[in-house]
């Protein structure tokens, strides 16, 4: 179990492509105050990790080895961390479904990948301002 410090932004990446997962991790570890939990590749493991760990940010692919990102979102309902969907399937109907499920950010991997660090930095900054001082 990886524990995140109180002021760290604790991130769970749900991605079944090792190449994409590594690229995302490389971007995130450069951000100060961000802790990335071990990457998971399927719906069941994602749900287990979200149940077991205090996660601030969920970065979620829609097409997984087993299950889907939508399955994760539907299982969590409104009880989920801030979510960024990153997909190669940025179809309008997927974007709309994600919006209906309360997803805060929907990124097309091919076109929006470089926006990820900016979004994470904003979330990290917001978390550090809300955390109580020791």
Q: Give 115's DSSP letter.
A: G
pTM: 0.92
Helical H runs in 37-88?
43-52, 69-76
Bridge partners (DSSP) listed for residue 13: 59
* Residue 11 DSSP code: E
Q: pLDDT (tens digit, 0 to 9) for every residue of the chain, 134 residues total?
A: 567 777 789 999 999 999 999 999 999 988 889 999 999 999 999 999 999 989 999 999 999 999 999 999 999 988 889 999 999 999 999 999 999 999 999 999 999 988 999 999 999 888 776 644 43
| CATH no., domain 9-124 | 3.40.50.2300
Spatial contact of 12 and 83, defined as CB atoms under 8 Å apart: no
DSSP 114: G
């Amino acid at each position: 179990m990886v524990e995140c410090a109180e002021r760290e932004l604790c991130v769970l990446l749900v991605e079944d492509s090792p190449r994409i997962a590594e690229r995302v991790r490389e971007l995130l570890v450069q951000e100060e105050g961000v802790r990335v939990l071990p990457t998971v590749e399927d719906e069941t493991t994602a749900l287990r990790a979200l149940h077991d760990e205090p996660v601030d940010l969920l970065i979620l692919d829609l097409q997984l080895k087993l299950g889907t990102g939508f399955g994760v979102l539907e299982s969590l309902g409104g009880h989920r961390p801030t979510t960024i969907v990153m997909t190669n399937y940025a179809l309008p109907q997927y974007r709309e479904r994600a919006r209906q499920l309360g997803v805060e950010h929907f990124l097309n991997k091919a076109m929006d990948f470089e926006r990820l660090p900016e979004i994470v930095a904003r979330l990290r900054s917001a978390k550090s301002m809300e955390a109580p001082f020791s």
